[in-house]
Structure 1
Amino acid sequence: MKRFFRFFIMAIVFLGGVSLAKEIIIKDVLGREVVLKSLPQRIVLGFYYTDYLAVGGIKALDKVVGFSKAVWTDWTPASWELYSKTLPELKKIADVGEVEVGTFSVEKVLSLKPDLLLLADWQYQVLELDLEPIEKAGIPIIVIDYNKELPSLHILSTQILGQITGQEKRAEELCAFYKNTLEQIQSTITKANRAKPKVYVEFGNKGPSESGFTFGKNMWGPLIELAMGENIAKPFIEQWGPMNPEQILVSKPDVIFIAGRETELGKNKEAMVMGVEIPKDEAKRRLEAYKKRLGWSSLPAIKNNALYGVYQGASRTLADIAMVQFFAQALYPDLFEGIDAQKTYIDFHKKYLPIVPSGTFAIRASEK
């Protein structure tokens, strides 16, 4: 009788616990209210892997059952190699395909039986019409966005990651770090009351002989504005794309940034390279070649040695606040003496991520 009574009490407690479990309501970056029955335990991750880890910590990786692998392994293979050596469990996570090249598989997502699909806004826009089977299966879809480089979206996306990983406190710490660093940068510039320098940014994967993509309202474009510079591409480029070379000459940028990544190291000996395990001398050699681009010798940026290299992989992430810092230092050098943006980038990894990258992430061309 006592044993039965004890079992009866335990059943009541268990059932009571289930009934008291609270739903989690999340408003994503598109303003969609998404209801989660509980904290997700099986997540398919579309993008923003390092931000997910920065907020959720290493243990949050245990909940990832699938991800869009090529966006990491193919776009930034040096980063993938570094992370997968430290976290070998990454190699065991199922690949659901890549949106941009059309290999994303709804069927694969369904087979993994996730309780959450987390997508970048740009992925959702491409996939929206194909996601009906996932929605019919009752799998919640949440959209976040670091690509637009808007502080409000960075903050909201970080808070969402905190909610779905149960790390709200850590998320708020990261949000405070981002907001405070940005406030320090912008208040310093505002107090100085200077005219905004004109800025041009180019993704240098094609090398100096051919114009690469520049950015309007996406990625590096908004980061220029956060550093209180004037993006010369904004009137001509909506999101990203090549800018007329003649227009660059007419616009006369005061500062030029060439973005690079590791993947071009073995593909194109003239393409700009930056990032994990990229030697500073190699990055500088390739950056110097842009001074010889047709017509550029007359530009204020080249005349005044305001030519810089930045890491393409350091954009569209919480860690890109270090790149805003670097932009601000390049645009207003006398206001930010002693600032080491590359150290800020490395320190972010030391504090919030499981790896500490070495390489070249922010440089200036050599003096004449």
Structure 2
Amino acid sequence: MTLKTTLLAFVAAILTMATPAAAEKTVITDVAGRKVELELPAKRVLVGEARQIHVIAALKGEHLFDTIVGWRDDMIKKDPDSYEAYLERFPALKDLPQVGYIPSGTFSLEGAIALQPDVLTLNIEAQKSAQESGIEEKAAAAGIAIVYLDFRVDPAKNSEISVELLGSIFGEPAKAQEFIDYRRAQIALVTDRLARTSDLVRPKVFIERSPGISGDNVCCRTFGPANFGEMVEQAGGHNIANDVLKTTFGDLNPEQIIVSNPDHVIVTGANWAAESDINQFVHVGRGADPANARNKLEALMQRPAFFSLAAVKNGKVHAAWHQFYGVPYEFIPIQQFAKWFHPELFADIDPDKTFREFHERFLPVTYKPGYFVSLPSGGE
């Protein structure tokens, strides 16, 4: 070998050593069935719905915002009690860049690209708009992988898959599985006991979606066989909307409710002060005032479709935190509903204790009660 050949070989070897190897990418399948290729764990994540933080926090704990470069503003507007909890724990959160919502047309792709995310996590409801607007295609061209999650439309099918996806994205697959196992066990405390009860009588239940938030919706938005409707069934009740609706969300008319004459009425509520035009909603959630919530709940039961119902006459009227409908914490309302529907069978179950334990084990924020309320004699 000549000196020249030896020198060329040496230079080539040095160049090879100096050139970093291309990052290995992994293919994952999101809840929309799309094959998505990205480097895992992701280094820069744009959270397309801020309420996904409820799950990500359970995976990342104190390191929740280490790799999040921006988020949608929905937690601030729709779940401000939770936002305040996370802001108190992570003061820099107030400066986290915000992006809009694709279906409403407020999402800026240019603003998103400027944050240089590796991945954008979106709820499945945004997929149609993301495709029709071209955002899906343009994001891919900019090197941003879109991953669709679902905790709302079909949570029974997609919640655990979505937790696993977030576990992969944030490099916490073991913690994701721990979360899933805990959730399954807490739900099984109810469903296994119900399965062993041969003489179970399921009370009729109407669950109303966010009454009192808007004057445009007087009555009666509800849930079909999925989401809160499924939670009612898992807790040993019969969701009366299942007899009519086949979709996750829908409406019953007042006459249908009167004819069904449910044994229990549950309304969903939250702190919607930033969005409500009538301020008649039931404010339940982290640290909510139970007396104020009861007053609002009692006022809602004066509407024509409700005041004559057996549930109202018998004091079986309740409110539950609305945001359970988009977070895989379903084990909490399932336990609480079971206590309302079958108080003797579930006398030993304590949903408040369960939720407090969940916070201490998984979440970086402190627990405060206030997620449920009942009218007097409602078996709170």
Contact 2:266 2:318 in 1 (8 A): yes
258, 264, 288: which one pairs with 1:249? 258
Which protein has the larger Cα radius of gyration, Structure 1 or Structure 2?
2
1:38/1:207 Cα in 2 relative to 1: closer, same or farther (>3 Å)?
Answer: closer
1:87/1:25 Cα in 2 relative to 1: closer, same or farther (>3 Å)?
Answer: same
- The aligned runs of 1:255-294 (5 Å cut-off) are 255-264=264-273, 268=278, 270-294=280-304
Taking the aligned partners of 1:86 and 1:114, their CA distance within structure 2 comes to 24
149, 164, 173: which one pairs with 1:168? 173
Taking the aligned partners of 1:174 and 1:38, their CA distance within structure 2 comes to 20
Contact 1:305 1:365 in 2 (8 A): yes
Match of 2:5 in 1: none
- 1:207-265 deviation line (CA, Å, top 9, x unaligned): 79932521224532222233242221234443334420110011121211011111249
Contact 1:149 1:223 in 2 (8 A): no
Query: Unaligned regions of 5+ residues in structure 2, if any?
Result: 1-10
Taking the aligned partners of 1:297 and 1:97, their CA distance within structure 2 comes to 40
Letter in 1 for 2:235: A
Question: How many residues in Structure 1 have an aligned counterpart in Structure 2?
Answer: 360
SS at match of 2:344: helix
Taking the aligned partners of 2:17 and 2:234, their CA distance within structure 1 comes to 53
User: What is the Cα deviation at residue 31 of structure 1?
Assistant: 1.7
Between 244-253 and 330-339, report the one with greater CA deviation.
330-339
Residue 305, structure 1, aligned to residue 308, structure 2:
no
Contact 2:285 2:321 in 1 (8 A): yes
Query: Unaligned regions of 5+ residues in structure 1, if any?
Result: 1-6
- The aligned runs of 1:1-368 (5 Å cut-off) are 18=21, 22-47=24-49, 48-69=52-73, 71-130=74-133, 131=135, 132-148=137-153, 150-193=155-198, 194-206=200-212, 210-237=218-245, 238-264=247-273, 268=278, 270-294=280-304, 296-367=306-377
Match of 1:3 in 2: none
1:338/1:364 Cα in 2 relative to 1: closer, same or farther (>3 Å)?
Answer: farther
Between 116-125 and 345-354, report the one with greater CA deviation.
345-354
SS at match of 2:83: helix
Taking the aligned partners of 1:292 and 1:207, their CA distance within structure 2 comes to 16
Taking the aligned partners of 2:322 and 2:69, their CA distance within structure 1 comes to 28
User: What is the Cα deviation at residue 268 of structure 1?
Assistant: 4.1
Taking the aligned partners of 1:158 and 1:152, their CA distance within structure 2 comes to 12
Contact 1:56 1:161 in 2 (8 A): no
Taking the aligned partners of 2:67 and 2:214, their CA distance within structure 1 comes to 44
SS at match of 2:70: strand
SS at match of 1:278: coil
TM-score normalised by structure 1 residue count: 0.88
SS at match of 1:351: helix
User: What is the Cα deviation at residue 14 of structure 1?
Assistant: 7.4
User: What is the Cα deviation at residue 8 of structure 1?
Assistant: 10
User: What is the Cα deviation at residue 152 of structure 1?
Assistant: 3.7
Contact 1:148 1:222 in 2 (8 A): no
Taking the aligned partners of 1:22 and 1:286, their CA distance within structure 2 comes to 55
- 1:106-152 deviation line (CA, Å, top 9, x unaligned): 22112222111111111223322222211222321111111135334
Between 84-93 and 206-215, report the one with greater CA deviation.
206-215
Taking the aligned partners of 1:152 and 1:241, their CA distance within structure 2 comes to 19
Letter in 1 for 2:230: P
Q: Identity rate of aligned residues, in percent?
A: 27
Taking the aligned partners of 2:269 and 2:220, their CA distance within structure 1 comes to 11
Letter in 2 for 1:134: A
Taking the aligned partners of 1:224 and 1:14, their CA distance within structure 2 comes to 61
